[in-house]
Structure 1
Amino acid sequence: MGFAPTPVKAAAKLGDDGLYQMDWYLESFLDLSEDLAGATSKGKRLAIMWGLKGCPACKRMHEVHLMDPKIESYVRDNFEVLHLNHIGSRAVTDFDGRKLTEKALGEAYGIRFTPTIQFLPDKIDGLTGKSGQAREVARMPGLLEPSEFLAMFRYVREKGYEALSFPDWLRKQA
């Protein structure tokens, strides 16, 4: 009689920078064009997650939302998640080739609080001609309840933004 292996649940780990990390988050050279191309080549979408040391909502997102196997597997299977520090000093290369610190990049994209998740298009075409928030297809400003959190990722994956605002798409799903 054999034993089936016990599924290993993902665990959020607190990094040296004070940000929570999942072992499946994107390992990146912090070049957004490369990260978008890499996600697209894997059939995934790129999401930039902004966090901050000591952020209670960031902690809840990692300990509640991303510990839900349904949410965690959907996000992991369909998205490359790049986790950036809202006040960080690492150099990030933006789509126009400019190198900015994480903090300066967040300011350029109008990131005001954490967590904020930016969802980018599946193609790089036209992104260099746009700036900041105009490059996004959707944004999750703050932490939604778990069911809406998952719905936002589905909205982006299913390209609901092409026809409806997120609240209208969500009502249509109900």
Structure 2
Amino acid sequence: MKIRSSVALACFVAGTIAAGSAFAIDYPARKPGLWEIQSGDGTAGKAAGQTIQQCIDAASDKALRDMGQGMGKDMCSKQDLRIESGKLVMDSVCKIGPTTATSHAVMTGDFSASYRMESKSTYSPPLMGRTEGTSVMEAKWVGPCKPGQKPGDMVMSNGMTMNVLDMMGGRGKK
């Protein structure tokens, strides 16, 4: 069975981006509003795959970081975040079922207008037949959330909307 890189990336991105408070360095908070996030398998260094839109405010962004902290404590034996030459560099070792995923990611950008993450991972034993993977995620702030959207809403590329805060049992709601 072939793993869909967009699904793997979505899980990685959710865990990595939200994991800010799990690290010694505070992860930058994103600007409140509507973010467009493109993710792909890193082919030719581009994020040419799935596109989602996510509506956030300060509380929902913090709730996602807190969720990542909990995921990291449960799944990862190593989580290291440091600043190198103005870039955020993350190294992690996490368990996904019986597989150990060792990942290295570099993030650039200002988190108020845009940011980019490039990551490389190895899987032992292979994860769904893959021993390694690369991914690229590019995010840009597109403006205020659309009318009718609430913080935590994610609009998938197929048009489906889900609210990650509701899926978390309402954590982060005001």
Assess same fold via TM > 0.5: no
**TM-score normalised by the chain length of structure 1:** 0.29
> Relative contact order: is structure 1 or structure 2 higher (C-alpha 8 Å, sep ≥ 6)?
2
Larger radius of gyration: 1
Which of the pair is proportionally richer in strand? 2
Greater helix share, 1 or 2?
1
